[in-house]
Amino acid sequence: MAVSRTLSRPDRTFVAELRKDITAVEAALSLPWTTSPAEGQICRIKMIKRTMYGRAGDQPPSSGPGGILVDHRRRACS
């Protein structure tokens, strides 16, 4: 295939691995499923953990030893 000669070795390896499971690749591109609900929960859990450890940016510090203040406002996940 002429196109594969223009790709770098890592790119050719990537394409070869994709071709091994082409049915999964096609399904991922064509099916309407999404992981958005799971991503939202992960984001929420990360925010709670940041708050617990005092790394939540403009969040107030914890209320003392063992105390947890959690801000339930929605924030962008990072």
Residue 28 has pLDDT above 70, yes or no: yes
Are 4 and 12 within 8 A, CB to CB?
A: yes
Query: For the chain, how many structural domains are there in total?
Result: 2
Tokens representing 20 are 């091994």
CA gap 4, 6 in Å, rounded = 5
Say yes or no: 55 and 76 in one domain.
Answer: yes
Say yes or no: 78 and 46 in one domain.
Answer: yes
For residue 1, what are the domain limits?
A: 1-33
Higher pLDDT, 64 or 4: 4
Query: How do residues 53-67 score in pLDDT, each as one tens digit?
Result: 876 665 455 554 455
Which pLDDT belongs to residue 16? Answer: 92
CA gap 22, 14 in Å, rounded = 12
Residue 73 has pLDDT above 70, yes or no: no
Q: Which residues, other chains included, contact 43 with Cβ-Cβ below 8 Å and sequence gap of 6+?
A: 75, 77
CA angle centred on 22, ends 16 and 26, rounded to 5°: 135
